[in-house]
Chain A
Amino acid sequence: MKAFTNVNPRTLEDAVSALTRSRASGARAVVSGGGSDLLGLIKERLVQPDIVVNLKTVAGLSNVRADARATTIGGLITLDALSREAHIRRDYQGLAEAAASVGTPQIRNVGTLAGNVCQRPWCWYLRNGYACYKNGGDRCFASSGENQYHAIFSQGPSYIVHPSDTAPALVALDARFRVVGPRGERLVNASEFFVLPRVDPARENVLQDDEILAEIVLPPAVSSRRSTYAKILDREAWTHALVSAAVVLDMDGDVCRRARIVLGGVAPVPWDRPRAAGLLEGQRVTPELAAAVAEAAVSDARPLAKNGYKVPLTRGLVGRTVLALARQ
């Protein structure tokens, strides 16, 4: 691995100023949460930092606190800890399920919520150092190459899929992200945090190089709300989702009052399906309606040469997940 200096800030302000100071001196500085993804990227020479700012030493970023206005989750909470939080399991079940479904126990014991949301895509062209948009190049090798794991929803120019399990759940649960940087902090809606390749093909989100995703803020719990996260893998475990679905339903008896369906593994960002979800509102959720919702969720899919299988896979997953959650 390339040599670098590890910096251990005690506060977010220290972390931001370490980033700013490094940049001012011409050094390349990166932020590390759990570090699993970052160390892999450094070993592959896709990232070559002079300074690694280790957020694990920042106090107070690993817990969950709830009051009447919001539930706030520290970005440094590990996925394992998040999946075991009683409050999250009860009121934001879809997020707990998403966190529990990530990778392996070893990954979940180190990987953080913010890191899971901000991990780089796992496209094999990107990870193998091809000069694609994500690596600073000017083309997407997957668009006409080996694209069996790539996007069925993308207007290009890059066809990566967003790899995070927790991101679709956070978008579906109307989370907001507290982003801290040298110009202060801002609260960004989860649905506006992720960036399409046609806006910026090199990035997956709005974070600037000197900004840190510090906390995730969820709206207060609602007793009529239920949520779930389901994913399909090409083996039983330890791989990324071919397709995943985060579904949130506000139920009044057996009538759905409000619905949110956000897909993972099929687009460069968590893929919100408001039109499909809208079909559920004010309706009893029958198998026929769930099938219509599932069809609406994929009606505008544009698969590539080798990933057409993801369309029926997505249709099936959406239909059965919506129906199971409504009947829960």
Chain B
Amino acid sequence: MKKLSRRNFLETTAAGIAAAAVPVETGAQPTPTNQGTGPTGPRTTLELVVNSRRHRLDVEDRCTLAELLRDHLHLTGTKIGCDRGECGACTVLLDGLPIYACSYLGVWADGRSVETVEGLASPRGLHPLQESFIEHDAPQCGFCTSGQLMSAKALLTVNPQPSAQQVREALTGNLCRCSNYNQYVAAVVATGRSARLGPGEDIA
């Protein structure tokens, strides 16, 4: 049985309401949510690697990388906040560098490598940054958290032991409307200093 989650609940409930209200054509494809209501636009088939897995996808040219991840690969950990490249909730790593996935087309990521928050944890457990975020009560509402994690990860990859000021600079592009910035900074600084990383173990 499918595990009950808020997303599953909302999706099935919404589908039930829609089915009750309008006759639904059988076999209809699920409609991506953020692409407007107009007719389908020009499409491109592209290949990209997401969290070390290769995908071949057919998407509309106007589909942003954030929409590609959420609507086509169902990687909904990447959030769409402002959808204007201002808030940072959609931050993912493109070839290792943090970018706003809402302000980058999916087709521009053809042949490239993307890492999302879903790529952080491993079968061995959570990523040290995720552990530290929990320990420091860094997330409040949680909506900005995956973006904060990805910016923090990019920083630790090039600077494994950052100062608080360096963390603040690296997280500049990630807004937190709960204003829990100090906890985020403390969590990232602590991860850098953490003994959890064994000798030779890489933060990446």
Contacts and interface: CB of A to CB of B under 8 A. Distances in A.
A110 B39 contact: no
B97 interface: yes
Interface stretch (B101-109, B130-138, B185-193): B101-109
Interface stretch (B15-23, B56-64, B115-123): B56-64
B38 A109 contact: no
Given A2-B36, A35-B108, A107 B85 contact: yes
B44 interface: yes
Contacts of A3: 36, 38-42, 60-62
A3 B107 CA distance: 13
Contacts of B36: 1-3
A39 B99 contact: no
Interface stretch (A69-77, A98-106, A297-305, A312-320): A98-106
A194 B173 CA distance: 29
A4 interface: yes
Contacts of A105: 97-98, 151, 154, 169-170, 172-173
Contacts of A11: none
A106 B99 contact: yes
Interface string A53-68: 0101000000000000
Contacts, number: 93
Nearest to A40: B84
Interface string A22-65: 00000000000001100110110000000010101000000000
Given A3-B42, A4-B41, A107-B85, A238 B173 contact: yes
B107 A110 contact: no
Contacts of A104: 88, 172-173
B171 to A, nearest CB: 9
Interface residues of B, number: 34
B91 A4 contact: no
Residue of A42, A106, A107, A238 ringed by the most chain B CB atoms within 10 A: A106
B76 interface: no
Contacts of B38: 2-3
A104 B98 CA distance: 10
B107 A109 contact: no
Contacts of A6: 42, 44, 61, 105, 107-108
B83 interface: yes
Contact of A39 (B60, B64, B97, B154): B64
A316 to B, nearest CB: 24
Nearest to A237: B172
A94 B196 CA distance: 41
B62 A2 contact: yes
Nearest to B173: A104
Interface string A230-253: 000000011000000000000000
Contacts of B184: none
A80 interface: yes
Contacts of A144: none
A107 B173 contact: yes
Give the 10 A-B CB pairs with smallest separation, nearest first. Answer: A3-B41, A104-B173, A6-B61, A5-B42, A109-B97, A106-B173, A36-B103, A237-B172, A1-B62, A106-B100
18 contacts: A1-B62, A3-B38, A3-B40, A35-B103, A35-B108, A36-B100, A39-B64, A40-B85, A54-B107, A103-B173, A104-B172, A105-B98, A105-B170, A110-B99, A110-B104, A237-B169, A237-B172, A238-B172
